[in-house]
Structure 1
Amino acid sequence: MNKTEMKEAILQAKSGKGLTWGDIAKSAGLSDEFVCSACLGMNHLEKPQADAVAETLGLGGEVSAALQRFPTKTWDRPIPTDPLIYRWYEMLNVYGETIKEMINEKFGDGIMSAIDFTMNIDRQEDPKGDRVLVTISGKFLPYKSW
């Protein structure tokens, strides 16, 4: 089973069982966001977590094995057309250079890791309409001279 087949099986089982990413992540003892990313094929899980996720979803060893395989973290998509994903694309196009400048000013020349990284997505109540609160924390990695 490849990652695409795994993703389809997981999404079908998740929907069929009426589970949330939180329900699935709880079985693995990991964050909702990380487990979701692994289930969508962009990260991997260790065997105990992969087995727990597959069992929670009522899926077999093929799904667990696919969850354990290291993904190829590339994509060949054109500009996203899903409105929510497109807004992230738009935000990075509008604010990406600003984010880079602010990080460089505060930390120096380097990058923010997406490997030593956490992300949390929460709902923030607001009288004008609830807001999406995304917290991204990545280790700063300075460039070095040699």
Structure 2
Amino acid sequence: MLSKSEAAEAVRRAKVRTGVTWAQLAEAVGKPLAWTTAALLGQHPMREEEATTAAALLELGDDAVLAFQLQPTRGALDAAVPVDPTIYRLYEVVQVYGPTIKELIHEQCGDGIMSAINFRLDVRRVPDPAGDRVVVTLDGKYLPYQW
């Protein structure tokens, strides 16, 4: 049986081999793009039907179907400070703007946090005359602290 991390690597290889995109997988599975991508990279469990659909599209076997359904251990970084340039830049954004985001959440919403459980994510490319932009939207439910 494949582990979730082995299944994630199998997905990445199968995407190259088959030419299937994350968007095509999300459409076939019937889930949002970011959720489907995270699930197939090992961060969410899939229902059997979703796992079977994704595995078929990627030409993967029953081991992958089972791995996609496993409950994950969430958090995908191998080190406290990421070394991949794209992931590091997101880490850098949180280092620089994290305190600002926290202050603005508290000022606008009160003493609480943004949920990463009741959460939506969107990533899109936006044309710009000075060079295309990447827009990342983090959309988490506000959870007030209960005292």
State the TM-score, normalizing by the size of structure 2.
Answer: 0.94
- The equivalent residue for 1:143 is 145
Secondary structure of 2:45's aligned partner: coil
Amino acid at match of 1:128: A
Secondary structure of 1:112's aligned partner: strand
- The equivalent residue for 1:8 is 9
Amino acid at match of 1:30: K
Structure 1 residue runs of 4+, over 3 Å off? Answer: none
Instruction: Give structure 1 stretches of 5+ with no counterpart.
Output: none
Amino acid at match of 2:47: E
**Map 1:1-146 → 2, pairs under 5 A:** 1-74=2-75, 75-145=77-147
The alpha-carbon deviation at position 76 of structure 1 amounts to 4.1
Amino acid at match of 2:108: K
Tell me the distance in 1 between the aligned counterparts of 2:12 and 2:41: 8
Contact 2:109 2:142 in 1 (8 A): yes
Query: How much is the aligned-residue C-alpha RMSD, in angstroms?
Result: 1.1
Secondary structure of 2:9's aligned partner: helix
Over 3 Å counting, the alpha-carbon distance change for 1:46 and 1:117 in structure 2 is same
Which deviates more, 73-82 or 32-41?
73-82
Identity %: 44
Contact 2:20 2:57 in 1 (8 A): no
Tell me the distance in 2 between the aligned counterparts of 1:142 and 1:49: 33
